[in-house]
């Protein structure tokens, strides 16, 4: 049944197929109730009906925070504590209660639908239950719409009303501008960088904040500000120290001030040492050794100013040769090539490539080649 119910006057006026009930809102009238058994006249005050409203998302302090593109549902249920079934729920506009969307003088927001419930057993309309559904579009973003609902007992002329405000937000997360931010950044130790962390505004252009996690100890993150293109930018300012040599994964996060959706972007910063250890000038490129005579060849490296922890390795070692672990001796890092050439190696040359590098991630290695030539034992040569 399509009802338009006035909330000002008590009169019942049929109009074409539309019934208009006029009832006093906010005032509870007194009624004479005659007990048929005692025939005694008493004055009774009817209790207003109960209007129960549930919603998804939940109602918090009379407000629903709806999200563009996500469905909203508001369920109405009216009950009458007096036990009467002449009860209707609907939407209040002006001074009238409407239980059918097509009768509303002021239409609902675009896409919103209001329907009374249907009894699944009888397919009959249940005027005590109704549902309003709405999936807000981007056009409704940053708007607030107030709905006023009521439950009305047409027998007693009593009603209950509740208002629900629906605030629509566009919870689309902002996006990072990857055209100006690479996921891998190489920095030379000691060099100063100022990297703009740039975020494209979302569709509603809300103010946003850029935050960061795992920021290097010597780095600073500036405030978020809008540039001429309408993007949001925060500057990461950093001069890496020796303690920060290696790879650090830094995660940036962008979030609108008024929304919950966030975007994250991780940049791997690789800090490389801009200075390297150097082989000592005393290192020879040619070295003569003798068969059956122990060799203790010193591989000497001058460390750089950042660390004495230098790795020294060798490739091309002849059979029987080994390289000791490097150690700091008189401000030089020394490793010793130990070898006792045998008779099968006489007359042969062995180019050995030594490599020295700081024992930190991203270090740049340096190399030096010494060619060892094996001669017969000295005693053989002297004959």
pLDDT per residue rounded down to tens, the chain (383 residues)? 666 666 654 333 233 223 333 333 333 333 333 334 433 444 466 788 999 999 999 999 999 999 888 899 999 999 988 877 789 999 999 989 999 999 999 999 999 999 999 988 888 999 999 999 999 988 888 899 999 999 998 877 788 999 999 999 877 778 899 888 889 998 888 789 999 999 987 666 667 889 999 999 889 999 999 999 889 999 999 999 878 888 999 999 998 876 677 899 999 999 877 778 999 999 999 999 999 999 999 999 999 877 889 999 999 999 999 999 999 999 999 999 999 999 999 999 999 999 999 887 667 899 999 999 999 987 655 54
Reduce the DSSP state of residue 122 to 3 states and report it: coil
Q: What is the DSSP letter of 378?
A: H
CB 225, CB 173: distance < 8 Å: no
List CB contacts of 359: < 8 A, sequence separation 6 or more.
307, 309, 310, 311
Tell me, yes or no, whether 123 and 194 share the same domain.
Answer: no
Same domain, 141 and 233: no
Claim to verify: residue 257 and residue 282 sit in the same structural domain: no
CATH number where 307 lies: 2.60.40.10
pLDDT confidence of residue 82 = 80
Closest CA to 148 of 273, 312, 25, 10: 25
Question: What pTM does this model have?
Answer: 0.47
Of 101, 135, 169, the last residue of a domain is 169
The answer on 108 and 220 residing in a single domain is no
- CB-CB neighbours of 45 under 10 Å: 11
Query: How do the residues of the chain divide into helix, strand and coil, expressed in percent and rounded to 5?
Result: 5, 50, 45
Other beta carbons within 10 angstroms of residue 287's beta carbon come to 15
Q: Which of 253, 272, 291 is the last residue of a domain?
A: 272
Clarify whether residues 260 and 308 are in a common domain: no
* DSSP secondary structure letter of residue 45: -
Q: Are residues 84 and 116 in the same domain?
A: yes
Give 57's contacts (C-beta < 8 A, 6+ positions apart): 64, 65, 66, 67, 72
Strands 3-6 and 18-22: parallel
Which of 223, 248, 272 terminates a domain? The answer is 272
Indicate the number of domains in the chain. Answer: 3
User: Under a CB-based contact definition with an 8 Å cutoff, are residues 126 and 69 in contact?
Assistant: no
Whether residues 15 and 65 fall in one domain: yes
Quick one: 115 and 70 in the same domain? Answer: yes
Q: Give residue 276's pLDDT.
A: 84
Range of the domain at 119: 3-169
pLDDT score of 380:
56
Query: What does the pLDDT read at residue 121?
Result: 87
Residue of 335, 334, 343, 350 lying closest to 293 (CA atoms) = 343
* 288 shares a domain with 228: no
Do 47 and 160 fall within a single domain?
A: yes
Residues 23 and 143 in one domain: yes
38 to 33, 34, 154, 266: CA distances (angstroms): 11, 8, 27, 83
Same domain assignment for residues 9 and 152:
yes
């Amino acid at each position: 049944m399509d009802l338009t119910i006035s909330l000002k006057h008590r009169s019942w006026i049929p109009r074409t197929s539309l019934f208009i009930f006029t009832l006093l809102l906010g005032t509870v009238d007194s009624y004479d109730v005659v007990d048929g058994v005692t025939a005694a006249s008493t004055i009774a005050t009817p209790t207003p009906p109960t209007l129960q409203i549930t919603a998804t998302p939940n109602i918090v302090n009379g407000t629903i925070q709806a999200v563009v593109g996500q469905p909203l549902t508001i369920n109405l249920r009216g009950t009458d504590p007096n036990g009467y079934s002449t009860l209707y729920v609907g939407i209040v506009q002006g001074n009238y209660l409407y239980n059918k969307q097509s009768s509303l003088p002021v239409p609902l927001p675009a896409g919103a639908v209001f329907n009374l419930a249907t009894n699944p057993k009888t397919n009959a309309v249940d005027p005590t239950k109704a549902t309003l559904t709405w999936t807000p579009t981007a056009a409704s973003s940053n708007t607030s719409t107030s709905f006023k609902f009521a439950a009305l007992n047409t027998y007693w002329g009593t009603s209950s009303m509740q208002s629900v405000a629906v605030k629509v937000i566009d919870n689309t997360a902002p996006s990072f501008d990857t055209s100006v931010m690479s996921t891998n950044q190489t920095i030379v130790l000691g060099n100063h960088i100022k990297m703009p962390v740039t975020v494209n505004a979302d569709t509603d252009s809300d103010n946003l904040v850029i935050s960061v996690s795992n920021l290097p100890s010597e780095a600073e993150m500036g405030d978020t500000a809008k540039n001429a293109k309408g993007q949001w930018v925060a500057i990461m300012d950093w001069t890496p120290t020796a303690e920060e040599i290696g790879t650090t994964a830094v995660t940036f996060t962008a979030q609108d001030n008024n929304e919950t959706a966030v975007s994250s972007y991780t940049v791997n910063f690789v800090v490389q040492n801009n200075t390297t250890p150097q082989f000592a000038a005393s290192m020879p490129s040619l070295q003569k050794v003798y068969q059956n005579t122990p060799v203790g060849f010193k591989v000497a490296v001058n460390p750089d100013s950042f660390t004495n922890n230098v790795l020294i390795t060798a490739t091309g070692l002849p059979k029987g040769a080994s390289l000791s672990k490097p150690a700091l001796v008189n401000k030089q890092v020394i490793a010793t090539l130990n070898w006792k050439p045998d008779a099968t190696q006489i007359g042969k040359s062995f180019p050995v490539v030594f490599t020295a590098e700081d024992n930190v991630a991203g270090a740049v290695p340096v190399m030096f080649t010494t060619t060892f030539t094996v001669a017969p034992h000295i005693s053989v040569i002297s004959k």
